[in-house]
A and B are shown apart, each in its own frame.
Chain A
């Protein structure tokens, strides 16, 4: 069973601060990594995808991937109250016989305090 681990939180940061969300995964052969944001009662929406080691920036969001450490993170700069949501890490790995498995972490709840 492939595992994706996230701190459940809640993670509380003041408005304007940097929020750091972390995710570790068990399958060293994992290929694709995604961060989704989910507001309460709503469907997940994609924030970032990352496929190779290093940093990827998109506006206030930066995803960082370290395959050697099996670690992926999401940084949110200048956090806003509207960023308050649950953030889901998802990892795609090949599971053999032409099959792939996309595993989600249980999510980290972020609260941005005005």
Chain B
């Protein structure tokens, strides 16, 4: 089954404790992206990757890191999480940048 898989689905952690949210797709997609969704602010792009080893900032990259060492994986790293990064996070992928994106089920992060 074609899918985008995020882990974990839920996480409660504390300020400053490094965490990684994994994202994997099995569709051989070139383009992958991370978003955060907050009430009243909608979906905002954090980082995206147009292919292996090619990443770029989206609208709200501060406090986040990404890497794209393999085509299928695009982890999101919070080196020193803070409460303002409490949000619902989505990973998405598409065949190329101009194509519709397939979204993962989301990761709800709470940072205390």
Contacts and interface: CB of A to CB of B under 8 A. Distances in A.
The answer on A and B forming one complex is yes
Interface string B84-112: 00000010000001111111111000000
A88 B42 CA distance: 9
Contacts of B45: 101-104
Given A43-B105, A88-B42, A107-B42, A101 B100 contact: no
A105 B42 contact: yes
Contacts of B58: 101
Contacts of B101: 34, 46, 102
A20 interface: no
A43 B106 contact: yes
Interface string B44-83: 1100101000001011000000000000000000000000
A99 interface: yes
Interface in A38-54: 42-46, 49, 51
B41 A106 contact: yes
B100 A92 contact: no
Interface string B31-49: 0010100001111110010
Interface of B: 33, 35, 40-45, 48, 50, 56, 58-59, 90, 97-106
7 contacts: A31-B98, A45-B103, A88-B42, A90-B43, A98-B50, A102-B45, A106-B40
